[in-house]
Amino acid sequence: MYSLRPRALLLPAAALAAAVLVSGCGGQDATSSTTSASPSRPAAAAPTSTPSPALTITDPWVKTSEKGMTAAFGTLVNNTDTELTVVSGASPLSPKIELHEVVDSGGKMVMRPKKGGFVVPAHGSHQLAPGGDHIMLIGITGKVEPGAEVPFTLTLANGATVPFTAIGKEFAGGKEDYQPGKGGMDMGGEDKS
């Protein structure tokens, strides 16, 4: 025979459990989290984001050289909403660094200091390449051999600095000559590296 007694007790017990559960949740603040970590599994730490530097340089390299002058190249990348301007550079390899451009002067390609520096548009890039804009190292104090790691620091118009390391690389692509020539720094001469 079946007894109704146990079933009759189950309904009030279930109602009581529901009431306790609802009243336990009712005191919770609406802004608090409804998830909690179990005692055997600690809560995950909140992810931290490292802000991107305002300016970075990708694939930086320096043309190998025995003495005199050489140049550094790469792509300047602006990670901000505003235009950035590189106004100077420094390296322990050279007592004097200039930001250079290559321009046509009377049918002859010559290098000269870039007035105003390198302007990198907001969320854009500015390429430093042989035959174009580059970082000129004048009077280098040691050899630049393939694979050498050369530290640099660029300074922006807003005073911020951007450190990077460029790798020594052999390059004779456009017969660039980063040694002084007559009437300026000649790009059209033979490569003396």
Q: Look up residue 169 and give its two tokens.
A: 């690389």
pLDDT tens per residue, the chain (193 residues)? 334 444 444 444 444 444 433 344 444 443 333 333 444 444 555 555 566 789 999 999 999 999 999 999 999 999 999 999 999 999 999 999 999 999 999 999 999 999 999 999 999 999 999 999 999 999 999 999 999 999 999 999 999 999 999 999 999 865 555 555 534 445 433 333 3
CA distance 92 to 25: 65
Please tell me whether the overall predicted TM-score, pTM, comes out greater than 0.85 for this model. no
- Please tell me the CATH code under which domain 55-174 is placed: 2.60.40.1890
DSSP code per residue over 5-62: HHHHHHHHHHHHHHHHHHHHHHTS-TTS-S----TTSPPPPPP--PPPPSEEEEEEEE
